Amino acid sequence: MALAHAIAEHLPYLRRYARALCGTQKSGDAYVRACLETIVADPSVVGSDTTPRVALYRLFHKLWGSANVDLRTVANSRPQPAAGVEKKLGELTPARRQALLLTAMEGFNVSDTARILGVGEEEVKQMVAQAVREISDQPSTKVLIIEDEPIISLDLQSIVREMGHTVAAIATTRDEAVRAARKTEPGLVLADIKLADGSSGIDAVRQILSEVQVPIVFITAYPERLLTGERPEPTFLVTKPFVPETVRVAVSQALLFT
Cα torsion angle, 127, 243, 53, 65, sign: negative
First CA to last CA across the chain, in angstroms?
41
pLDDT of residue 182: 96
145 neighbors 167 (Cβ within 8 angstroms):
yes
pLDDT of residue 154: 96
Average pLDDT over every residue of 190-210: 91
Given a cut of 50, whether residue 79 has pLDDT beyond it is: no
pTM of the predicted protein model: 0.77
Average pLDDT over every residue of 191-195: 91
Average pLDDT over every residue of 125-147: 89
108 neighbors 52 (Cβ within 8 angstroms):
no
Given a cut of 90, whether residue 224 has pLDDT beyond it is: no
Which helix (H) or strand (E) element contains residue 156? Answer: helix 150-162
Which range (23-32, 72-81, 142-151) has the least confidence?
72-81
Q: Please enumerate in sequence order all residues whose Cβ is within 8 A of that of 65, keeping only pairs 6 or more positions apart, or say none.
A: none
pLDDT of residue 20: 85
53 or 234: which leads in pLDDT: 53
Given a cut of 80, whether residue 165 has pLDDT beyond it is: yes
Given a cut of 60, whether residue 71 has pLDDT beyond it is: no
82 CB neighbour count, 10 Å cutoff: 11
166 or 79: which leads in pLDDT: 166
Instruction: Name the strands in the sheet holding 236-239, side by side, starting at the edge strand that comes first in the sequence.
Output: 166-171, 142-146, 188-191, 216-220, 236-239
Q: Set out the domains of the chain in order of their start, with CATH numbers.
A: 1-79 (1.20.140.160), 82-137 (1.10.10.10), 142-256 (3.40.50.2300)
C-alpha 253/C-alpha 97 separation (Å) is 8
Confidence label for 225 from pLDDT (cuts 50, 70 and 90): low
Return the amino acid letter for 3.
Answer: L
pLDDT of residue 230: 55
113 or 105: which leads in pLDDT: 113
Average pLDDT over every residue of 10-30: 85
204 neighbors 155 (Cβ within 8 angstroms):
no
pLDDT of residue 81: 42
pLDDT of residue 88: 46
Given a cut of 80, whether residue 45 has pLDDT beyond it is: yes
Task: Please report, rounded to a whole number, the percentage of residues in the chain having pLDDT higher than 70.
Answer: 84
73 neighbors 130 (Cβ within 8 angstroms):
no
C-alpha 237/C-alpha 246 separation (Å) is 10
Which range (50-64, 67-81, 114-128, 170-184) has the least confidence?
67-81
Given a cut of 70, whether residue 190 has pLDDT beyond it is: yes
